[in-house]
Structures are given as C-alpha cells and as structure tokens.
Homo-oligomer: A and B are copies of this chain.
Amino acid sequence: MTLAEENYLKAIYHLEQQFKKGVSTNALAEEMNTKASSATDMVKKLAEKKMVTHVPYQGATLSKAGRDYAVKVIRRHRLWEVFLVEKLNFSWDEVHEVAEHLEHINSDKLVNELDAFLEFPIYDPHGDPIPDKDGNFKTVEKIILAKAEIGFTYKCIGVDDTSSEFLKYLDSNSIGLGTIIKILHKEPFDNSIKLEIEDSEIVVSQSVAKNLYLKKV
C-alpha cells in the first residue's frame, strides 16, 4: 500500500460514516483536495487491489480488507497524536499534520510498542477512540452540539473538525475535552447557540455547533 492509497482508504472510511451508501467520487475528491478524475483513478486502483468495491457512477465501498487496513492506519494516527501531546508537549491543534505523516510508517513492532509505552490509551487528543491491536474499539455515544436540547447540561467529548483554526478557537473560549456546557438558547435566525461554560455565557456560531461532540451528563 502506497502513501496515497493509505490516505484514500482513510478518507473513504471517514466518508462512509456520513453517507451510509457508497462514497461518491466528488465527496472523495473534496476530502482529498484533488480533482474528481484523480479520485476515479485511485478508486479503480483500490478496486483492483480488492480494497474497495466500485460500481461505476455509484460510488465506492470499503471491502473487509479495506476497512481493516483503514482502521490500522487510523490506529497509528491516533496513537502518534497521543504521543505528541503526552510526551512531546504538542497541543491538540498541532498534532494532526505531523501524525498525518507518522501514520504511514509500517512496523507492527513500532506501533504496538508505542501503544504499550503510552499505556494503551483509549482516546486520542480529540476524543476519538483508538483501535486496539486487533482493530477493535468502542464507538463513542455522542451528539452534535447543534442537536443538543435547551436547558440540559452536557460534557464536551470530541471534535469533528481537527483543524488548527477550530481547535485554537475552542482554546480561546475555554472549551476542551471534558468541559461542561449548558445549553441556554438556540437562535433560529442563524442557528447560533448560547452556552454557559463555568459561569460565563458565550454564543457560538452554527459552524462551531456542527463540529463539537457532546454527551449528556
């Protein structure tokens, strides 16, 4: 598996969560920051390698082998993110880019020893679950802030967007994993939401509301 193939597998995996059907060429191209024609080429290559099934014009779906491989790359990515934060003083907005490269180093001993060194972490710095050596992980029960109910209290347990910009925004508003958030008001006009965080009130936009994962407490 080449570096590009691994990145495409991961992208297809993530997109399958959203669009339950086959992953469309356009969606894949957008996720990979390439053109649709490039996505088509790669999907055909992955199909030849039995990593995806591809019905022309109907999108791509991961095979068992493809999903297993994607989970393996995701395991590496998230373990390296933990390493960077826990051991090398990276903040959660700095790890993604570097992990994007580290995830492609293919050595079982490396990954499994890293896992042990980190004492088998279950979540990465963004609240995402880390698959174990056999690819198993618990799916996290979570709702998006946009769908939280007024008057209830939630705990922040994850983010969808892991861009540096979004994470720095959260930092500057004292929002992180574990932060307790009470929903005060939802503004129908622009879908913004007023929150209470540690006795102070803030209003967040719709794009924030769609990228923050919560759990009822």
Contact = CB atoms under 8 A, between A and B. Distances in A.
Contacts of A88: 109-110, 113-114, 117
Count copies of this chain in the complex: 2
Interface in A52-100: 84, 87-90, 94, 97-98
A114 B84 CA distance: 9
A170 interface: no
A102 interface: yes
A107 interface: yes
A105 interface: yes
A90 B105 contact: no
A61 to B, nearest CB: 31
A101 interface: yes
Contacts of A98: 105, 107, 109-110
Given A94-B109, A105-B98, A110-B98, A117 B87 contact: yes
B90 A109 contact: yes
Greatest chain B CB density within 10 A among A101, A110, A113, A117 is at: A110
A206 to B, nearest CB: 33
Nearest to A104: B101
A113 B101 contact: no
8 contacts: A87-B117, A88-B110, A88-B114, A90-B109, A90-B113, A98-B107, A102-B102, A102-B105
Contacts of A87: 117
Interface string A105-122: 101011001100100000
Greatest chain B CB density within 10 A among A84, A88, A90, A114 is at: A88
Contacts of A110: 84, 88, 98
Nearest to A102: B105
Contact of A101 (B84, B105, B109, B114): B105
Greatest chain B CB density within 10 A among A84, A102, A105, A114 is at: A105
Contacts of A97: 107
Contacts of A114: 88
A16 to B, nearest CB: 28
